[in-house]
């Protein structure tokens, strides 16, 4: 992967000097990240890029993953959906299963970090091992309207942390500990986001039988009901009545998401063998995801709920026009009619897509604005800076007044 100095041409020498200065201030501290899966989903993707870069900045950073069986991850998927406000009953048995696995992890996971940085609900109970070290809880999901039963259960653990981190202002909750707003980021030099030669893009299109002479609409997301892939097909079908086009639905499945293959089956059923709908399962094939985004005329992100939606920033970084739902952290990335188009329904999404396909100059301008917005706000160098300031704030709260 890219070395830290390779980011200098993108963000400038002053930013890099700040990062190195912050790294020096953290010498001697061990940062331990803990989450539920090493691959799949935005959390693992960010940590895969961030941990090596922090080490380059002389910040001693480790990453550990909890263990859990099928029942545990079924329960935590229920928690995930409930925190996003989706209806569904979470039973006492579900809480018992969660606690049984949590107790095993409390016994087995060594929490050695000076700062233990826990990501999302799956490992949240580890805070019961808190000693004299500092503990952070990072909430990557949209908890603006959570199931109160699940939220109150999690609050028993949240209050034991030193601070909590959320991705968007609307996710902030009334809690008795300090909380910080830190948006996620993309790595512009990763396989998923770096520049690609046209020959590579053409090769990927040929591989999947995608035509170059017909407009391409694409949604890149894991197969999850909250990403609404069935609604994406409905929007495409409405566009198709007016503009002959193709749809790509591409993504993988996270290890801690047991619903993925069931949703994939529903999507395939909805597509009904339409030769212009390409449903691609691409586990960890970042180069191909990059190529598909770069080949697309419009990128969709029609989520019903969204913690942040890194695929939006990925598409904007490639200067692609994006149509996305006005939910979660997406409005932080898209200013409507400036860096993309926001929508609220299947009909709204199809109208916006038709507008962009019919007005290529407008689409190009939105894409250019979007790339500049991502450059200024959602690159990994900004994320590194925010996290290092956060770590320092745990020891010097009077020195860090605004993240």
> Measured between alpha carbons, how far is 284 from 222 in angstroms, rounded to an integer?
11
> What integer best gives the mean pLDDT of the chain?
93
pLDDT of residue 170: 87
Interacting residues of 174 by C-beta distance below 8 A, sequence separation 6+: none
Would you give the distance in Å from CA 232 to the centre of its chain? 19
Q: What are the tokens at 39? A: 């691959």
pLDDT of residue 399: 54
Q: Is 344 helix (H, G, I), strand (E, B) or coil?
A: coil
> Measured between alpha carbons, how far is 173 from 194 in angstroms, rounded to an integer?
36
pLDDT tops 80 at residue 8 = yes
Instruction: Please identify which residue in the block is written with the tokens 């960890």.
Output: 284
Interacting residues of 64 by C-beta distance below 8 A, sequence separation 6+: 32, 33, 34, 109, 110
Q: Give the mean pLDDT of 178-195.
A: 95
Q: What is the DSSP string of 250-288?
A: EE---TT-TTHHHHHHHHHHHHTT-TTEEEEE-TT-HHH
Nearest to 32 by CA among 152, 157, 100, 123: 123
Instruction: Please identify which residue in the block is written with the tokens 């952070």.
Output: 136
pLDDT tops 50 at residue 315 = yes
pLDDT of residue 172: 84
Q: What are the tokens at 226? A: 């909250």
> Measured between alpha carbons, how far is 276 from 97 in angstroms, rounded to an integer?
43
pLDDT digit string, tens, across residues 243-289: 999 999 998 766 656 777 888 999 999 998 899 999 998 877 899 99
Can you name the residues that pair with 96 across neighbouring β-strands?
A: none
Q: Give the mean pLDDT of 302-327.
A: 95
pLDDT digit string, tens, across residues 204-254: 999 999 999 999 999 999 898 999 999 999 999 999 999 999 999 998 766
Nearest to 325 by CA among 344, 307, 310: 344
Domains and CATH numbers, the chain: 4-185+379-395 (3.40.50.2000), 198-377 (3.40.50.2000)
Residue 31 DSSP code: E
Band of pLDDT at residue 403, cut at 50, 70 and 90: very low
Neighbouring C-beta atoms of residue 269, cutoff 10 Å: 9
Residue 218 DSSP code: E
Q: Give the mean pLDDT of 292-302.
A: 98
Band of pLDDT at residue 402, cut at 50, 70 and 90: very low
pLDDT tops 90 at residue 195 = yes
């Amino acid at each position: 992967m890219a070395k830290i100095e390779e980011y200098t041409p993108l963000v400038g020498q002053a930013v890099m000097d700040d990062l190195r200065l912050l790294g020096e201030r953290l010498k001697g501290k061990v940062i331990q990240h803990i989450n539920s899966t090493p691959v799949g989903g935005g959390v693992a993707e960010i940590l895969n890029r961030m941990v090596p870069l922090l080490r380059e900045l002389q910040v001693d950073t480790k990453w550990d993953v909890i263990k859990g069986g099928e029942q545990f991850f079924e329960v935590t998927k229920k928690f995930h959906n409930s925190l996003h406000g989706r209806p569904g009953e979470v039973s006492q048995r579900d809480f018992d299963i969660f606690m049984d696995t949590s107790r095993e992890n409390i016994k087995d996971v060594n929490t050695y970090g000076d700062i233990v940085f826990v990501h999302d609900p799956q490992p949240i109970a580890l805070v019961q091992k808190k000693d004299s070290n500092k503990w952070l809880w990072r909430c990557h999901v949209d908890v603006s309207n959570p199931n109160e039963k699940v939220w109150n259960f999690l609050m028993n653990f949240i209050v034991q942390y030193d601070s909590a981190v959320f991705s968007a202002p609307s996710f902030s909750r009334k809690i008795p500990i300090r909380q910080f707003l830190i948006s996620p980021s993309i790595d512009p030099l990763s396989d998923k986001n770096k520049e690609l030669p046209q020959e590579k893009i053409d090769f990927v299109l040929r591989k999947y039988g995608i035509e170059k002479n017909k407009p391409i609409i694409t949604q890149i997301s894991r197969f999850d009901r909250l990403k609404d892939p069935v609604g994406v097909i409905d929007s495409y079908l409405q566009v198709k009545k007016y503009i002959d086009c193709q749809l790509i639905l591409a993504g993988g499945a996270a290890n801690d998401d047991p619903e993925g293959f069931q949703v994939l089956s529903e999507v395939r059923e909805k597509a009904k063998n339409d030769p212009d709908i390409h449903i691609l399962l691409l586990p960890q094939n970042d180069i191909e995801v990059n190529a598909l985004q770069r080949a697309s005329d419009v990128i969709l992100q029609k989520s019903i709920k969204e913690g942040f939606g890194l695929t939006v920033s990925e598409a904007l970084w490639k200067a692609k026009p994006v149509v996305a739902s006005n939910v979660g952290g997406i409005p932080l990335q898209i200013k409507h009619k400036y860096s993309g188009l926001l929508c609220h329904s299947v009909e709204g999404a199809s109208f916006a897509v038709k507008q962009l396909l019919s007005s290529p100059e407008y689409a190009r301008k939105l894409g250019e604005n979007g790339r500049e917005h991502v450059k200024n706000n959602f690159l990994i160098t900004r994320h590194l800076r925010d996290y290092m300031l956060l770590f320092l704030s745990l020891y010097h709260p009077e020195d860090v007044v605004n993240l």
